[in-house]
Amino acid sequence: MYIGAYEGSDVGDITISDLRIYDNALSSADVASLYNSGLATHQQGTESDDRYDAGVKTYTSPSIDLTANGAWGTTPFSISHVLNGGSILYYTRSSQNNSTWSDWQAVSGSTIASSPYRYLQWKAELQANAELNDSPVITDLAISYVQDSSAPTNPTDTALAYSSTASATPDLTSGNWYNYTNPKFTWVEGVDSAEVGQSASGIDGYHVVLSTSAVAVPSESTADDCYAWFESDDREFVVGGDAPSCVLSDNTYYLRIQTKDNSGNLASAVTIFTYKFDNIIPSAPASVSSTTVGYSANNTFTFFWPTATDTGSSGVAGYEYKTGASSGTFSAWQFTAETTISNIEAYQEGQNFFYVRTKDNAGNYSGTASNNLALSSFYFNESAPTSPQNLTVTPATTVSAPSASNVFSVSWDKPASYSGELAKYYYCVNCTPSASTMTETTPTQTVNRTLTNLALATQQGKNTLYLVAEDNNINATTGTGNRNFDSYASADFYASTTAPGAPTSLSIIDVSDRQKSNWSLTLTWAVPSTGGTPSLYKVYRSTDNETFALAGSTTSTAYTDTALTRAQTYYYKVYAFDDAGSTSIASNTVSEQPLGKYVSPPSASGAPTIQVGASTATVEWTTDRTAFGSVEYGKTNAYGSVASEASASGTHSLKLRGLSPGATYHYRTYSLDDSELIGYERTAAYSTDYTFTTLTASEISGIEISDKTLSSVVLSWKTISIVSSIIEYGETQEYGETVTLSSTGGETTHTTRISDLAHSTTYHFRVRGTTSDGDEIVSQDSTFSTTTFPKVTAVVFTTDQSQGGTMVSLAYSTNVMTTGEVQYQAVDVDPEYAKTERGKTLFVETDEGMKVDVGSLRNFTQSELLAIPVVPKGEAKNVYDGVYALKRVQKVSDLEDGLMYIFTIRGRDEYGNEFASTPIRYVTGADTRPPTIQNLVIETPVSGTGIETKVQAIISFETDEPAQTKILWGQGTGSEYPNSTETQLGFGTKHVIVLRDLDPTTSYHLKIIAQDESRNVSESVDTVVVTPTAQQAALDIILKNLDEVFGFLKLL
């Protein structure tokens, strides 16, 4: 084998970089493995030219391209040489780009001190032996390194951005518009990770460009004015600083970056910040206007302006506004995104100024207060006009020369001082000027400043006319202009007749008949209490409360205005006229809308028509107005089923489904208005009872629904020559659920229960059968409804205290037939409630301490009662009614007076479904009836003999309610009762009191005093008792009998 140039060849000088000799041939896979293993070895063969001159001779290798050097290997520099008495020193240097090289550094042993870059050079300094007859020979050299062929990772976080180099805190957001010409950007460092079997060479630096192209490649954009290279430890880019020629213009810029490692690997370019730049000034609004024209008394103004334009790329963000105020909220610019702003306040009376400027999304403004702004003046005044001038009443009168006719005219001049325009005047006669006592002038009277031929006098002799002015500066709070009823002009005049005063207490009610579309309003008023006697009243009507026209006249104090438009607001005022035609000033003004309710249900035009099938029937009828139609139907006139329309119509058609073939049905129709328009009893809408008979089916017949519950029904039908039947059912005619049954092939009666249904729901179903011949027949679509879940629909309480204690009657109704049970529980107000602010108003101080004021408690609403904390008193009780009904009245008769009870209504429907109402709290009335004393029995046993004989009077009686009792008594008869027993402790209904040591054969009279727990007191009639003689006494027998009767005499 010959390597190198040989004589006669055309190959030039050859340098062997790497030579290996193997004892067998290498496959292509072996060669690839050596190339990609990450351990590359370059050998420099022995130089053919030995030097033997004295001194150091240097050999420098060519540049060696390591391609991707991540780190030096375990033995970076492996050298084999023969010194031959001489010496060799080795050096290396490296480069990333093959142009800029590091300094030469000596090799120590096998360690290379140079950085592991892509390009490497080595040199050897050789020195011959001392005799100069032999030179060192390098026989072998190997460089060992680990590859880094993977590109580094760019910074993953969005760059931080600052409005200027002076900003210490990042204040810019990627993707937003700005107008800063020299922003600053910083970023986190990139990451250089090695692949398996390789080593990371580390970050060298970053190619960065701020470009208008979202796909710009920084490493290919080095000629761009906004390009810069940054070392790995320098990650701050200032526009105009690091790239001095970088000048921004109106555009979107992308901060593009490429990370480069020490092996020269480059990451793909990415955008780490989007900077939108716009420094073009937007235009100001072309104009600005106020919704208030002229002066306003209401210090709140609204301004609007047209949309402004922005030739810059960021677009208009909104507007800033301010007034000419020197302080306060509106002295500084405020921002809005709209083109209108409200609630702007004036800063002075008279002329004010309002400014608007445009702001774009980059923060550019159209101008300042003196440049490129929109400007509007607005006027504010809240001072009322002064009094009118030169008020004159004609004809001229005096106290000695009054006017014989109550017809006067008035003229005046404008006030000396006012703002804006004068809107109206107010006048009254013999009154204290105020909004409620004065009449405003008409537009003509206001303009002419005259009142012509009015009956102004309201009394004989002297009359005084008052006049007040109002400007047109409307105050939003009061709804009027500026006016001051204390700033009035007045003029005296005299009359010998008196005009009627204004009608008073004018009121209005809606008396419309909706069914007849007769829309009417009725007005009533009181006869004037001042002025002359009215002989006629005229009623004036308006739809805008400004222009009034005569609606009619009457001699009474009531008037009905008819033929009105429904839901139109009408305004009315009334004038009184005397016999001479003198007119009062106007009454107060009232307004109303005629709405009305129907007082009778929609009327059907004749009997309904019906189309009958085997299992369905269609009922049709028409009504004189749109309504919601329903049909109740069943095999008896108790009906039991109902079909209803979902929307109102004047033509009604309802199909009754699930009917039995060949059966007679009863039905009736009814049509109802919308619930808000019903002013009649619903039962008045029922038609008469009608009947129809369904057709007979031959194949599938006798379909019936029975045993309906909340979640199931029983379906039965007959089939002839059907081998199998399928029931299809569901909430729509799409069905969706099936039940399959087999048949014998002859006549078969089928019965099956369909379960897992929803309560109160209408289901569609049909029967599909297969005949013996394999044909399929299908019944008509039918419906059934599961049982309606019962609930209470209305409850009314009434209290009756006339019979032996409090009795409450509960009248209530349910949506279906149910039994009824009233469960009631007595409760006391929790004493702790007295400590609350609300509770303090409920408790009152009594001799027995703090007690609930029942009168106040009874005035509480249900929601207020429910909010009161209570504690149970005694056991819960109940009253049961097992009769099924829709409406019932149940009485609870053993209640206490003046006590709160919690009532719960329960029951079951005919299917056993149980319901319970929401608990209702109810307070019984205070006890005002005294106890009744009854069943009085007096026994007079005798004890002792002779002069020692004494008689006892054992007095037993009952009261009809718990009470404390005592007996007043004395000898003889009369109205004096010198003796009294102690009042019995506790309250009870059975009482025994014993009068001891009475004389025999003596008359005594007594009466019983009874007091119930509410301190109601009753007295018995005077009762006379004559004690027996000693011979008559039979104490043992009497006591025994009493003990058998009362049992408790042994306690005496």
In a domain, 11, yes or no: no
In a domain, 633, yes or no: yes
Contact 263, 148 (CB under 8 A): yes
pLDDT of residue 66: 85
pLDDT of residue 214: 95
Confidence band of 42 (pLDDT split at 50, 70, 90): very low
pLDDT of residue 1046: 44
Q: Assess whether 623 and 681 both reside in one domain.
A: yes
Element (H, E) at 1037: helix 1035-1046
Choice between 745 and 215, residue whose per-residue pLDDT is larger: 215
Measured in residues, the chain has a length of 1052
Give yes or no for residue 929 having a pLDDT over 90: no
Most confident of 503-507, 530-534, 927-931: 503-507
- Give the separation between CA 630 and CA 694, rounded to whole angstroms: 20
Instruction: Calculate mean pLDDT across residues 567-588.
Output: 86
What does each C-alpha distance from 373 to 293, 322, 392, 746 come to in angstroms? 21, 11, 52, 98
Q: Assess whether 964 and 1003 both reside in one domain.
A: yes
Q: Assess whether 881 and 805 both reside in one domain.
A: yes
Q: Assess whether 175 and 270 both reside in one domain.
A: yes
DSSP letter for 363, please. Answer: S
Give yes or no for residue 153 having a pLDDT over 90: yes
pLDDT of residue 34: 53
Amino acid identity of residue 377, one-letter, is S
pLDDT of residue 399: 92
Among 281, 270, 259, 291, which residue's Cα sits nearest to residue 192?
259
In a domain, 184, yes or no: yes
Give yes or no for residue 452 having a pLDDT over 80: yes
Give yes or no for residue 1047 having a pLDDT over 70: no
Contact 741, 750 (CB under 8 A): yes
pLDDT of residue 614: 63
Give yes or no for residue 369 having a pLDDT over 70: no
Q: Assess whether 797 and 898 both reside in one domain.
A: yes
Q: Assess whether 910 and 803 both reside in one domain.
A: yes
- Give the separation between CA 933 and CA 499, rounded to whole angstroms: 70
Q: Assess whether 588 and 602 both reside in one domain.
A: no
Confidence band of 43 (pLDDT split at 50, 70, 90): very low
pLDDT of residue 613: 67
**CA 323 from centre of chain:** 37
Domain boundary among the residues 440, 474, 495 is at 495
pLDDT of residue 1033: 39
Residue-wise pLDDT for 1008-1019, tens only, equals 999 987 788 899
> Is residue 517 exposed (0-12), middle (13-18) or buried (19+ Cβ within 10 Å)?
exposed
DSSP letter for 230, please. Answer: E
Stretch among 708-712, 767-771, 795-799, 864-868 having the lowest mean pLDDT = 767-771
Give yes or no for residue 772 having a pLDDT over 80: no
Domain boundary among the residues 221, 253, 277 is at 277
What does each C-alpha distance from 812 to 221, 256, 818, 904, 1030 come to in angstroms? 90, 80, 11, 12, 65
Give yes or no for residue 608 having a pLDDT over 70: yes
In a domain, 15, yes or no: no
- Give the separation between CA 71 and CA 226, rounded to whole angstroms: 34
Residue-wise pLDDT for 225-257, tens only, equals 999 999 989 999 999 999 999 999 999 999 999
Residue 212 sits in which domain range?
Answer: 160-277
- Count of domains in the chain? 9
Give yes or no for residue 797 having a pLDDT over 70: yes
Map 1004-1025 to HEC letters.
EEEEEEEEECCCCEEECCCEEE
Residue-wise pLDDT for 297-307, tens only, equals 788 899 999 99
User: Edge to edge, what strands does the sheet with 350-360 contain?
Assistant: 295-296, 374-380, 350-360, 316-323, 334-336
Contact 412, 449 (CB under 8 A): yes
Choice between 18 and 844, residue whose per-residue pLDDT is larger: 844
Instruction: Calculate mean pLDDT across residues 994-1019.
Output: 88
pLDDT of residue 620: 96
Among 234, 242, 221, 239, which residue's Cα sits nearest to residue 178?
239
Percent of the chain with pLDDT over 90: 48
CATH number at residue 356: 2.60.40.10
What does each C-alpha distance from 429 to 256, 533, 585, 823 come to in angstroms? 88, 17, 9, 68
pLDDT of residue 630: 95
pLDDT of residue 722: 67
Choice between 162 and 710, residue whose per-residue pLDDT is larger: 162
Q: Assess whether 372 and 395 both reside in one domain.
A: no
Domain boundary among the residues 762, 785, 808 is at 785
In a domain, 816, yes or no: yes
1015: Cβ contacts below 8 Å, ≥ 6 apart? none
**CA 117 from centre of chain:** 69
- Give the separation between CA 822 and CA 891, rounded to whole angstroms: 9
pLDDT of residue 36: 44
Choice between 187 and 197, residue whose per-residue pLDDT is larger: 187
Give yes or no for residue 404 having a pLDDT over 80: yes
Q: Assess whether 944 and 1019 both reside in one domain.
A: yes
Residue-wise pLDDT for 304-323, tens only, equals 999 999 999 999 999 999 99
pLDDT of residue 747: 67
Element (H, E) at 862: helix 862-866
Give yes or no for residue 901 having a pLDDT over 80: yes
Q: Assess whether 351 and 471 both reside in one domain.
A: no
Confidence band of 551 (pLDDT split at 50, 70, 90): very high
Q: Assess whether 662 and 712 both reside in one domain.
A: no
In a domain, 640, yes or no: yes
Instruction: Calculate mean pLDDT across residues 480-496.
Output: 91
pLDDT of residue 710: 83
Give yes or no for residue 660 having a pLDDT over 70: yes
pLDDT of residue 388: 96
Choice between 806 and 554, residue whose per-residue pLDDT is larger: 554
**Which segments within 789-846 are labelled E, that is strand?**
792-800, 806-829, 843-846
- For the record, the structure tokens of 122 come out as 């080595």
In a domain, 729, yes or no: yes
CA-CA-CA-CA dihedral for 487, 491, 496, 499, to nearest 10: -40
Instruction: Calculate mean pLDDT across residues 751-764.
Output: 90
Choice between 859 and 727, residue whose per-residue pLDDT is larger: 727
Confidence band of 1 (pLDDT split at 50, 70, 90): very low
Instruction: Calculate mean pLDDT across residues 911-934.
Output: 85
pLDDT of residue 930: 86
Percent of the chain with pLDDT over 70: 89
pLDDT of residue 24: 59
Burial 993-1022 (b: 16+ CB within 10 A, else e): bebeebebeeebbbebbbbbebebebebee
Rounded mean pLDDT of the chain?
Answer: 85
Give yes or no for residue 30 having a pLDDT over 50: yes
**CA 646 from centre of chain:** 29
Peptide bond into 395 cis (omega under 30): yes
Confidence band of 51 (pLDDT split at 50, 70, 90): very low
pLDDT of residue 228: 95
pLDDT of residue 243: 92
Among 667, 560, 662, which residue's Cα sits nearest to residue 610?
667
In a domain, 8, yes or no: no
Q: Assess whether 812 and 917 both reside in one domain.
A: yes
